[in-house]
């Protein structure tokens, strides 16, 4: 059950944003764009090399990751980011909250997006929390000055995870996957990431 929002609101959100999520022709258009195929290739490189290289030292992996996730932070932040990721990359059970607390301690701000992006590489079944995804789902981040921002961010991420679980049961999800697999056969990409790709790359209107 979609905790806190309810199935009714879940359906309402999907209907409200159906110009993104139910328009098959628009999704086809998105998947045919050169930028979409470039993003898929970069992601495949990251997943294929995650356990082959020491990512705390591998410059090509780091550059690809920085480009894919737009990790624009200072050198010390990136050093700690990749060191933590290398240490925990084999732990698929690591929680969003653990990564969030660590990264937020480096930057002294709640690093919701980058925490979810790291998690999505360690465990490809986990979705990403970023502004595009939130917009498409009709959700918002906690206010910057909210005293419970970190905990509220964890709850927000849980809502996104629950939305994905519900969406996996929808006919539209099956159509998305069928389309994705038609363009990118044997991609090795998880269902969650296929949904992420469409949400990320479809233009905001």
Q: What is the pLDDT of residues 122-169, one digit of tens each?
A: 999 999 998 888 988 889 999 888 899 999 999 999 999 999 999 999
Count of beta carbons in the 10 Å neighbourhood of residue 12: 13
> Structure pTM?
0.85
pLDDT at 203: 60
User: 16-24: long-range contacts (C-beta < 8 A, 24 or more apart)?
Assistant: 16/138, 17/136, 17/137, 17/138, 19/205, 20/136, 20/199, 20/202, 21/136, 21/172, 22/172, 24/175, 24/179
Q: What is the b/e burial string over 66-78, where b = at least 16 CB atoms within 10 angstroms of the residue's CB?
A: eebbebebeeebb
Point out the least confidently predicted range of 60-74, 76-90, 120-134, 170-184: 170-184
Comparison of pLDDT for 73 and 201, the residue scoring more: 73
pLDDT beyond 90 at 22 = no
pLDDT beyond 60 at 96 = yes
Candidate ranges 2-6, 84-88, 191-195; pick with highest mean pLDDT: 84-88
Domain boundaries of the chain, sorted by first residue: 6-201
């Amino acid at each position: 059950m979609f905790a806190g929002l309810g199935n009714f609101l879940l359906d309402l959100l999907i209907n409200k944003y159906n110009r993104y999520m139910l328009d098959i022709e628009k999704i086809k258009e998105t998947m045919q764009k050169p930028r979409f195929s470039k993003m898929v290739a970069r992601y495949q490189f990251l997943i294929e090399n995650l356990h082959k290289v020491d990512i705390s030292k591998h410059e090509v992996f780091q550059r690809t990751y920085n480009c894919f996730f737009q990790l624009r932070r200072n050198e010390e932040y990136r050093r700690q980011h990749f060191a933590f990721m290398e240490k925990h990359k084999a732990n698929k059970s690591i929680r969003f909250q653990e990564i969030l607390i660590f990264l937020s301690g480096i930057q002294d701000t709640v690093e919701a997006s980058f925490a979810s992006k790291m998690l999505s590489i360690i465990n490809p079944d986990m979705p990403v929390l970023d502004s595009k995804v939130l917009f498409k789902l009709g959700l918002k981040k906690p206010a910057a000055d909210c005293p419970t921002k970190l905990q509220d961010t964890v709850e927000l991420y849980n809502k996104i995870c629950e939305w994905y679980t519900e969406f996996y049961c929808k006919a539209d999800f099956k159509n998305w996957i069928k389309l994705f697999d038609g363009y990118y056969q044997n991609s090795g990409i998880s269902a969650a990431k296929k949904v992420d790709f469409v949400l990320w790359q479809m233009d905001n209107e």
